Structure 1
Amino acid sequence: MKAINLTSILLFVLCIFSNKLKAQDGYTYTLQHDGGYDFTIQAVPNSSSNTFATSVQSYGFTIILPDGITATITSSLGNGASATFFNGSDVGDSSIDGYLVTEALGSPISLPAPSLATNSDMVSFTVNGNPSSGTLYILENNSSIATAVTPLKSFMAADMVDDGMAVFPNVVDEFTSAVSGMSSFSFTTLGINTNELSITSMYPNPTDGIVNISGVHNLERIEIYNLNGQLIQLFSKNGNMQQIDVTELQSGVYLVNVQSKSASKTFKLIKR
């Protein structure tokens, strides 16, 4: 996913929230599991007899992942969605990480009329690293995190009124959960690598180049991702003590996924 500065979209999102939901027509978001580590966030219309096709100008929501896990957008409503990565420690919960996903459409895109009760695909993404524990979920608008950090709230700027005017208020309720149906997914249900590695140490961290990993039996694969979810380096080795050389990496924070035949674990690595 493309990482951008969280503050760069603050004013944009706050502007959206200045237009309150004024009618029963509106939307919530739901999570669809597409199989494996592939997921889609869908927009769900509130129950309505409205036969006017919804015209969407922009939208956004926040997905939460276990600490150290990344995701990559594969498609979106207008094929231009951006994702702002943030560390859970920055919002008071070091056990998670997250992405604020937003898309401003160059030209409004129509969704089926609410009366059809049809869910619409907004963003599809893949979770990286094959996590075997923890939970993926859509951040609820009335959660403590979203209440404290308002720009993380879900929204949709859309015209739902057939009055000949193009007006795009926020049609997602910012004071309720704003989710419906399935809104979370436990990675333990996938039945892949159900054991987490018990690694004695990964050192030094921070590092200038060489990283030692000890305490892993039958080590098969080490993957290094950047915070955008892109695979940067791949190592395939065996043994109980391994060294990897990350000298060529630029300074920054990376995610190291260590895999054995039966388990895996992801660490944050700081390259100086």
Structure 2
Amino acid sequence: MTDTPPAGATPGASPGDALRFAFGTLTALPVRLTRWDRPAARGGMLAAPLAGLVVGGCAGAAGALLLLLGSGPLLAAVASVALPAALTRGLHLDGLADVADGLGSAKPADAALRIMKQSDIGPFGVVTLLLVLLAQVAALAELYADGAAPGAHAAVTAALAARCSLTLACRAGVPPARPEGLGAAVAGAVPVRAALAVAALTTAAAAGTGAPFGAYGAAHTAVAALLALLAGELLLRHCVRRFGGVTGDVFGSLAETSATAALVALALG
């Protein structure tokens, strides 16, 4: 006999619902959201690394193509940084700048959240954006200098780790800082064990992408992914202490911080 949900219960999300939520909220791709509820949010944030894989694949392909067409590594690196920004409409970068302004204000949580909600960008946000983008371009330029494959691989790894950090940030026990917005929709939606399982799978997938570069390449990529997730976790904990929880801006800052950490770690190998 098939169990049926009790009257009034929200049905579980299908894989299609989960993917539409992931791509509809984390990318600018033309994906129509069909559900905006907790089951869809749970499935969507568990599928977040898949959105990262697509964004990173596009970024790596753009950089590799330019390099193969005769451009220098710097231009290829700029393309690999610009494309993810375009594919997210700059929302993650905007979140990074807003969080930098909120944290830099050193004001209580309510005041800091009001600063983050303003449409303008303050000096902390400008400086943070500049330094993060410079770090991403510099790291990718160094990797593209070794060839199209190392640079494209780094772009994919960074995007994977960036979205996996969002899965971890949506685990149970992490509260929303506001009662509305994306943060409230996804905060605490993912069971802890499921979030850790996705992190393990993402790290294994990252190692797999590094396997063509040999055993050292696989290990180096896995370490870079883990360091990226660690950087995101440290920022997450700081934001929860300062703001009382997560917001959509916090998620954007986590993604950019994790991506930057992954790129720097790969460039240092």
Please give the TM-score of this superposition, normalised by the length of structure 2. 0.25
- Return the structure number with greater strand share: 1
- Larger Rg over CA atoms: 1
Bigger share in helix: 2
